[in-house]
């Protein structure tokens, strides 16, 4: 089913880590938007979505865990609106990364 572009919004997800944690570059983060899973590289990714309410979570795999640093936020987007969610992985792998909505 194709969505009418006049009812769409955009969510940008910025996924980053400290330069001191360069080893994270060897692992691909997981971005989940309302239970739909995306495996994306570290960086900024744009998702066109219907206007509405979304739960966005980010994590990354590490050795024996598929969801290290997992954290999530709730965001509402209106028609034509663009919101940015930022995620920054911590230096301690098993603690939640920092997330915010702009």
d(CA 98, CA 91): 11
Q: Note the pLDDT of residue 62.
A: 86
Burial of residue 13 (number of CB atoms within 10 Å: 0-12, 13-18, 19+) = buried
pLDDT (tens digit per residue) in 40-58: 999 999 999 999 999 999 9
pLDDT in tens, 55-83: 999 999 988 888 999 999 999 999 999 99
For the chain, list the domains and their CATH numbers: 5-97 (2.60.40.1120)
For the stretch 79-102, pLDDT in tens is 999 999 999 999 888 899 999 999
Higher-scoring residue by pLDDT: 1, 63: 63
Would you state the structure tokens that stand for residue 30, as one six-digit string? 């997981």
Tokens describing residue 90: 């911590």
């Amino acid at each position: 089913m194709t969505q009418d572009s006049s009812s769409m919004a955009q969510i940008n997800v910025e996924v980053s880590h400290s330069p001191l944690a360069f080893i994270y570059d060897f692992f691909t983060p997981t971005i989940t938007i309302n239970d739909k899973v995306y495996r994306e590289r570290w960086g900024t990714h744009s998702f066109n979505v219907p206007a509405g309410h979304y739960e966005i979570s980010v994590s990354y795999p590490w050795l024996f865990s598929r969801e290290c640093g997992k954290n999530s936020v709730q965001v509402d987007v209106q028609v034509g609106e663009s919101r940015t969610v930022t995620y920054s992985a911590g230096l301690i792998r098993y603690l939640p990364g920092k997330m915010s909505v702009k």
